[in-house]
Structure 1
Amino acid sequence: MKKFVLIVLAIVCGIVLFTFAKADFMSNKYYGVFIGISKEDGIKLNNYQVLVLESTEYDKDDIKKLHEKNKKIYAYLNIGSLENYRPYYEEFKDKTLGTYENWEDESWMDVSDKNWQNLIVNDLGKSIADKGFDGFFIDNCDVYYQFENEKIFGGLCFILKALRKYNLNTIINGGDIFVSKCIDEKKSKEMFDGVNQECVFTSIDFENKKYGKKSAKDREYFIQYLNKAKMDGLKVFLTEYKADIVTLQEIEKYCKDNGFHWYNARNLELK
């Protein structure tokens, strides 16, 4: 009897391990977001054709090494909020608009501030271009959702249009309200080439630090939004968090049917 139980347990463990291995395999296809990874680990990434990395961790030679592996590399660039660990924090902390829920080290930024615009475009943007990155991965255009007024909308548009001088591809992470307005006003192509949407199929419980499944209602909203982006000719990417094998299969089918690319992150830190 004991031997039989051990055999059953071995089979169950094998199925579980296979399931997780399959989940990882399904994720390691094309696109990966690794803004929390160390430079040493980033250089070793081999399973992805398109990478999103934290630009400050890498120099020109690092990007050259990744390009030798036929990688296309987007640089993370946060234009809508100010992180307290950035070297320019003290200079701009008085220009913030409010606290960023669930992210204790960030505050929403007044993107209409001319000095902030200059920093993003002429300092950070130039540094990214000079290092040889292929594109910008723009974060926190959701500042327009938090402060929905023409000053903030205009500030975001100014920054994104100005970054175009570097002739790099631009993906907007999140920012669905901002992106939708740009599409409605036929301005999107002037500023960006694609969108990345987090948590279309999955959800994050920040309070309890758990990952789950998106409600059908919320999922439908984002599916309609991404269809709108697709119809506008924008590239579409998804970043999900710890999706189980059943959800992964749903994501795979959805993205395959629509010509989208996706990544299943193991944690919120994107390591």
Structure 2
Amino acid sequence: MKRYLTFMTFAFISLQTLVYASFAVYYGDVSPTNIDELSKFNLLILSPLVEENYIKELKSKNIIVVGYLSLATIGGWEPWAGEVPDSVIIGHWETWNERETDFSSPQWRDIVLNKAVPYILSKGFDGVFLDNLDYVDKYPEKREAMVELIKAIREKYPDIVIVANRGFSIAEEITPYVDYILFEDFITYYDFNGNKYKIYQDADLQWVLAQAEMLKKLKAKVLALSYADLDNEKQVEEFSKIVCKYAGEYGFEVYMADITLQRIGLNPCENFTKSQVPSSEAKIGEENKNICGSGAILLVIFLPRSLRELILR
């Protein structure tokens, strides 16, 4: 026990030598031309199609790399798509031209647990990014099945890193089984009807902030994904100011990208000091004052799960 406490003390002291962690969501190709740019992040959410040698290279730089896995849709491009029978398909998602899967189906559960996750891990990924959890709101009768599926992933693969995308209506149930919750569309979003990037306003903004408050009360580790036109410098600056204001208030780490996620984005808070962007997180070290977010992420994610859970309580 004494040795354990000594390690804990050393771990937290070591935080003073670390910069704030950062993350990126990028589904484009990884190649020699952009791997250095990707290497500036501490956690990467990438396509499962990324070549193994690039995953290995990123991991050699102490970067956590997780692979994409939708728990409610199949696009046809996934290496496990051929395993999905028509009997599992229950709908069609027109926006991204994907088929909706019955995530309560034992067949789908088997594909996820014994085909998709193993494929991703076999390529060297540290874990999985679970997308489209909001489908529980479209199919509320399958809500419990989604929670059980996420729980099953954790139980079968106890030491992997799991990032869950949204799923606010089941956040309380799934938080014990995931390492992070990605808050996609945090403050800003892409309006597919108007083909414009926008900032949430009025009742919509209040709803977003209510979800942020809920996640904060759950003590979930949140990665906030905001959208903007990266070619529009004025918009990026405008969006960054308001996004970082709220991110600071809730202690969220932020990444800003365009809606395609085929282009490497940025940490929008790098240009704001702690005095400009209020944060609920304590400042750790002088070298960190130009970046907002959770300083503990980089250290905690490398610890054994049992120790991570104790720290994150």
TM-score grouping bracket, smaller chain normalisation? 0.7 to 0.9
Residue of structure 1 equivalent to 2:185: 199
Q: 2:214 aligns with which of 215, 218, 228?
A: 228
User: How far does residue 88 in structure 1 lie from its aligned partner after superposition?
Assistant: 4.4
Residue of structure 2 equivalent to 1:157: 147
Paired with 2:262 and 2:224, the residues of 1 have a C-alpha distance of 14
Stretches of structure 2 lacking an aligned partner (at least 5 in a row): 1-20, 229-234, 264-313
SS in 2 for 1:155: helix
Paired with 1:99 and 1:136, the residues of 2 have a C-alpha distance of 24
User: How far does residue 262 in structure 1 lie from its aligned partner after superposition?
Assistant: 1.0
Q: Which range moves more in the overlay, 112-121 or 238-247? A: 238-247
> Residues 42 and 53 of structure 1: is their aligned pair in 2 closer, same or farther, counting only changes over 3 Å?
farther
The answer to whether residue 85 in structure 2 is matched with residue 92 in structure 1 is yes
User: How far does residue 77 in structure 1 lie from its aligned partner after superposition?
Assistant: 1.0
The answer to whether residue 71 in structure 2 is matched with residue 79 in structure 1 is yes
Q: 1:112 aligns with which of 98, 104, 109?
A: 104
The answer to whether residue 251 in structure 2 is matched with residue 256 in structure 1 is no
Aligned 8 A contact 2:212 2:250 in 1: no
> Residues 130 and 87 of structure 1: is their aligned pair in 2 closer, same or farther, counting only changes over 3 Å?
closer
Residue of structure 2 equivalent to 1:210: 196
Aligned 8 A contact 2:72 2:132 in 1: yes
> Residues 102 and 171 of structure 1: is their aligned pair in 2 closer, same or farther, counting only changes over 3 Å?
same
Q: 1:103 aligns with which of 83, 96, 117?
A: 96
> Residues 62 and 256 of structure 1: is their aligned pair in 2 closer, same or farther, counting only changes over 3 Å?
same
Residue of structure 1 equivalent to 2:124: 132
Residue of structure 2 equivalent to 1:47: 40
Aligned 8 A contact 2:247 2:254 in 1: yes
Residue of structure 1 equivalent to 2:232: none
Paired with 1:96 and 1:42, the residues of 2 have a C-alpha distance of 36
Question: What TM-score, normalized to structure 2?
Answer: 0.68
Paired with 1:86 and 1:189, the residues of 2 have a C-alpha distance of 26
SS in 1 for 2:212: helix
Between Structure 1 and Structure 2, whose CA radius of gyration is higher? 1
Paired with 1:205 and 1:189, the residues of 2 have a C-alpha distance of 29
Specify the code of the residue in structure 1 equivalent to 2:213: N
Specify the code of the residue in structure 1 equivalent to 2:43: V
> Residues 42 and 134 of structure 1: is their aligned pair in 2 closer, same or farther, counting only changes over 3 Å?
farther
Aligned 8 A contact 1:95 1:109 in 2: yes
Q: 2:115 aligns with which of 106, 116, 123?
A: 123
Paired with 2:175 and 2:195, the residues of 1 have a C-alpha distance of 37
Paired with 2:60 and 2:71, the residues of 1 have a C-alpha distance of 29
Paired with 1:255 and 1:144, the residues of 2 have a C-alpha distance of 26
User: How far does residue 53 in structure 1 lie from its aligned partner after superposition?
Assistant: 0.3
Question: What TM-score, normalized to structure 1?
Answer: 0.78
Percent identity between the two aligned chains: 24
Aligned 8 A contact 2:80 2:111 in 1: no
Paired with 1:86 and 1:134, the residues of 2 have a C-alpha distance of 18
Aligned 8 A contact 2:39 2:58 in 1: no
Specify the code of the residue in structure 2 equivalent to 1:199: D
Q: 1:68 aligns with which of 60, 83, 88?
A: 60
Aligned 8 A contact 1:111 1:155 in 2: yes
